[in-house]
Amino acid sequence: MGTQTRWLGARATAIRVGSDWNCYESTTTTRTRRSFSLCCRWSPLTTLASSMPYEKELAAAKKAATLAARLCQKVQKALLQSDVHSKSDKSPVTVADYGSQVLVSLILERELPSELFSLVAEEDSGDLRKESGQDTLKCITELVNNTLANEGSHSFSTLTTDDVLKAIDNGKSEGGPVGRHWVLDPIDGTKGFVRGDQYAIALALLHEGKVVLGVLACPNLPLATIGRNQQNSSSNEVGCVFFAKVGDGTYMQALDGSTQTRVNVSAVDNPEEASFFESYEAAHSSHDLSSTIAEKLGVKAPPVRIDSQAKYGALSRGDGAIYLRFPHKGYREKIWDHAAGCIVVSEAGGIVSDAAGNPLDFSKGKFLDVDTGIIVTNQNLMPSLLRAVKESLNEKASSL
């Protein structure tokens, strides 16, 4: 099928590529692509479905994150200490972090060919371009080629090391308030990944500074539940994908592709019945402060500590009702550590805010300017949680 064009008036053009109609709005300064749904009166129903807002983008993001998760699973199984390299900030980074970023970058570009592609991602190719990085680069290239071949992605010819470097460097975008930007943490919770614990492939799309879709692939997260009720669960199956797009709710399915189920945050309104998540690593979030807040609020259960945005996924399906994150002074949160988790929780009915109750602002580039910390809970508990946070922070400040 060829490309067809229809003029919709002075400012808009609908272009059909294959079976999809897309709407392009022209202004004097920009030409932005918009999803095209009910206004497309001549579209057949099948076309209408595929042009629902962000539908194609969500399908591409799920495909990319799932394939990246396969690669990560393979590496985590085989992980030996010698596979762990050190970035300049000394955090462990493995071939899987890079490999995951390559796959997501290639798949998004391949699946959404008409997009102006912008990706804000955690890894860069600097270390791999050095003499000392050549063996790692070869290893990543082989890993990505094997993953693509095993998953039957015949549409990719064998990648060279240069293709791999280019795909990694696709992630150099700075983001910002204008246009569309994909946001990727190829392995969120690298320390958990290296430890054999929880991690996530976290992918989100920003449109005009707002998160409009998010996918969290959590290869080690139990399908049933984690935390307080885990011991009652009958299934040992692990591997979940959470996904959400704006206005459409949050869904979860097994990483191996079971039917999707809609999920909702816990409706608990009594803090005594609530449990809370926090970072596994005390260096990433003050466990002391969380425990003061939880005590003030009346939470009885001990904290559930898991790595990565798997915390947002677990909270979106009601495994726990609260997530507290208080990084130590001077740390600046990155958008890729929260964008996907944020929409997964908010579309499931939860609230994500900074410690002062302000929504997170993803429009400022790579960093989030958060006031003190990030708190997540349901609508019922948020007012009392905000009070407990405020009191605890005041007490902490006056004790210094």
Ligand X SMILES: Nc1ncnc2c1ncn2[C@@H]1O[C@H](COP(=O)(O)OS(=O)(=O)O)[C@@H](OP(=O)(O)O)[C@H]1O
Q: Please enumerate, by residue number, every residue annotated as part of a binding site for Mg(2+).
A: 122, 185, 187-188, 337
Can residue 83 be called a binding residue for ligand X (CB under 6 A)? no
317 is in the binding site of which of Mg ion, ligand X, none (Cβ under 5 to 8 A by kind)? Answer: none
Site for ligand X in 310-329 (CB under 6 A): 327
What are the structure tokens assigned to 311, written together? Answer: 């915390």
Residues 6+ apart with CB under 8 A from 58: 213, 215, 243, 245
CB-nearer residue toward Mg ion: 23 or 201: 201
Query: Is 123 within 8 Å of 67 (Cβ atoms)?
Result: no
- Shortest reach from residue 5's CB to ligand X, in Å: 42
Can residue 185 be called a binding residue for ligand X (CB under 6 A)? yes
Can residue 97 be called a binding residue for Mg ion (CB under 5 A)? no
Q: Which of 290, 381, 363, 380 is nearest to 328 (CA)?
A: 290
97 is catalytic: yes
Can residue 175 be called a binding residue for ligand X (CB under 6 A)? no
319 is in the binding site of which of Mg ion, ligand X, none (Cβ under 5 to 8 A by kind)? Answer: none
Radius of gyration of the chain (CA): 21
CB-nearer residue toward ligand X: 56 or 181: 181
Stretch that binds ligand X, among 9-17, 158-166, 167-175, 281-289 (CB under 6 A): 281-289
Catalytic residue among 97, 307, 319, 354: 97
Burial class, 399, CB count within 10 angstroms (exposed 0-12 / middle 13-18 / buried 19+): exposed
CB-nearer residue toward Mg ion: 188 or 347: 188
What are the structure tokens assigned to 243, written together? Answer: 């996904």
Exactly one of 169, 188, 347, 354 binds ligand X (CB under 6 A); which one?
Answer: 188
Exactly one of 101, 220, 279, 377 binds ligand X (CB under 6 A); which one?
Answer: 279
Can residue 253 be called a binding residue for ligand X (CB under 6 A)? no
- Shortest reach from residue 120's CB to Mg ion, in Å: 12
- Shortest reach from residue 284's CB to ligand X, in Å: 3
H helix runs in the chain, sequence order: 45-50, 55-78, 95-111, 134-150, 161-169, 190-195, 287-297, 310-316, 339-346, 382-399
89 is catalytic: no
283 is in the binding site of which of Mg ion, ligand X, none (Cβ under 5 to 8 A by kind)? Answer: ligand X
Query: Strands of 250-254's sheet, edge to edge?
Result: 119-121, 180-188, 200-207, 210-222, 238-245, 250-254, 261-263
DSSP one-letter string for 87-105? -TT--EE-HHHHHHHHHHH
Residues 6+ apart with CB under 8 A from 355: 326, 370, 371, 372, 373, 374, 375, 389, 390, 393
Exactly one of 57, 123, 169, 307 binds ligand X (CB under 6 A); which one?
Answer: 307
Can residue 185 be called a binding residue for Mg ion (CB under 5 A)? yes
Alpha-carbon span 12 to 8, nearest angstrom: 5
Question: Site for ligand X (CB under 6 A): how many residues?
Answer: 21
Can residue 338 be called a binding residue for ligand X (CB under 6 A)? no
Q: Name the residue type at position 292.
A: T
Can residue 188 be called a binding residue for Mg ion (CB under 5 A)? yes
Q: What is the dihedral of CA 72, 76, 77, 81, to 10 degrees?
A: 140
Catalytic residue among 94, 136, 141, 190: 190
The one-character DSSP state at 27 is: -
Q: Which of 183, 196, 211, 182 is nearest to 307 (CA)?
A: 196
Can residue 91 be called a binding residue for ligand X (CB under 6 A)? yes
Binding site for ligand X (CB under 6 A): 91, 122, 185, 187-192, 279-281, 283-285, 307-308, 327, 331, 334, 337
Binding site for Mg ion (CB under 5 A): 185, 188, 337
Q: Which residues are catalytic?
A: 97, 190
